[in-house]
Amino acid sequence: MGVARQYSGTLGKVGNCQVVVSAEYVPDVVTAGSPAHWPVTAQLYRPQSWADGQERRRRAHVPPAVGFATRPGLALVLVDRARDWGVPWGWVRADAAYGNNPGLGEGVAERKLRYLVGVEQRFGVRLPEAVAAVAAAGPPPYPGKGRPPKVRPAPLPTAEAMAAGLREDQWQTVTWREGTLGPLQKQFAAVRVHWATCSPATTNTERRNTSPEGWLLLARPRPGHQGETKDYPRNAPADTTRERLAHWPMPAGPVRSSTRMPRGSVGGTTTRGGGGTVCTAT
């Protein structure tokens, strides 16, 4: 059930596979000798072709009430399920496969929960002062015919551009825990931004929504070390310290997408997919 050609984080490409969205519990403090996370619940992702294919549904005994749901949509279902079960956590985390979809962050915020999600470096954000300036300026003058002009959106720099524009003294080396080979460290910077819910290439102003103000946490390797810069929007309080902000992206833990290859396919079977989090504790 659910087997289709779809993107797999495990494969790093599109393959014929199943995808399972899972939620796991991650403790606030992780040591080298303790488990990093525990499984809570999971849900099989059924692609649109499975949701619409009546013969497939009949043969797989899929109940009529079960319709199509996106992966971020399933992640919110798992969040609700974990809350209903009384799982003692206070943060929701996810990687860029989920964070790039604004619906996940918006859905978590609607549930009055805190979130930290990964996004791609081309993800758009807005500076609070630019948003305030646009709101104060109001829409352009009405030309007297046609539709009244709307308020022009604030500039939409990418997360990558924000990182490139920071001064060196805005980056701070943080140790988030002890590893088996020594301290685990990266350099972090944090900037107050609004999470824009579209890409910079979007020209339709009606799609340029702006989230409430929050943090953009940036992480990069220390000088002389290999790795890539990663970006994490989050809705932590404005007075949260950089050290505290830096501890939540590590280690990678729950919503996770696991991938299973059909029997006989190249690559065999793997149970670990490219995923980030869904439920983590504080």
**Per-residue confidence in pLDDT tens, the chain, 282 aa:** 888 888 776 677 888 888 888 888 877 665 556 656 778 888 888 888 888 888 888 888 888 888 888 888 999 999 899 889 988 777 888 888 788 877 788 888 888 888 888 888 888 889 999 989 988 988 888 888 888 888 888 888 899 999 999 999 999 888 877 777 778 788 999 999 987 765 444 544 445 567 888 899 898 988 888 888 887 777 888 888 777 777 655 543 334 444 433 332 222 222 223 333 334 332
Q: Round to whole Å and give the CA distance between 130 and 210.
A: 12
Domain membership of residue 60 (yes or no) is yes
Question: Based on the domain organization, do 240 and 262 belong to the same domain?
Answer: no
Question: Is 146 within a domain?
Answer: no
Give a yes or no: residue 142 inside a domain. Answer: no
**The pair of three-digit structure tokens given for residue 216, joined into one six-digit string:** 């953009």
Q: Are residues 172 and 259 in the same domain?
A: no
Confirm if 33 and 25 have CB atoms less than 8 A apart.
Answer: no
E strand intervals along 160-229: 172-179, 182-196, 210-220
Give the C-alpha distances (Å, rounded to integers) separating 65 from 45, 59, 62, 78.
15, 16, 8, 18
pLDDT of residue 84: 92
Length of the chain, in residues: 282
Q: What are the CA-CA distances from residue 217 to residues 43, 55, 160 (Å)?
A: 29, 47, 12
According to the model, what pLDDT value does residue 258 have? 43
C-alpha to C-alpha distance for 1 and 4, rounded to whole angstroms? 9
| pLDDT for position 171 | 92
The model carries a pTM of 0.74
Statement to judge: residues 68 and 39 lie in one domain: yes
Residues 236 and 127 in one domain: yes
Task: Tell me, yes or no, whether 2 and 61 share the same domain.
Answer: yes
Q: Is residue 112 part of a domain?
A: no
Same structural domain, 161 and 196: yes
Domains held by the chain: number: 2
Q: Report yes or no on 233 lying in a domain.
A: yes
123 and 70 both lie in a single domain: no
Q: Are residues 199 and 266 in the same domain?
A: no
Same structural domain for residues 228 and 128?
A: yes
Predicted local confidence at residue 36, as pLDDT: 64
Residue 278 is classified by DSSP as S
* Same domain flag for 235 and 255: no
Nearest one of 87, 163, 158 to 125, comparing CA atoms: 158
The whole domain housing 272 covers 1-107+249-282
Residue 143 lies in a domain: no
Query: Is residue 113 a part of any domain in this protein?
Result: no
Regarding whether 103 and 12 lie in a shared domain, the answer is yes
Q: Are residues 131 and 60 in the same domain?
A: no
- Identify the pLDDT of residue 247: 64
- Which pLDDT score is estimated for 271? 25
Question: Do residues 280 and 92 make contact, with C-beta atoms less than 8 angstroms apart?
Answer: yes
Residue spans of alpha helices (H) in 153-263:
159-164, 242-247
Cα–Cα dist 40/99, whole Å: 20
Residue 173: inside a domain, yes or no? yes
Rounded CA separation 51/193 (Å): 38
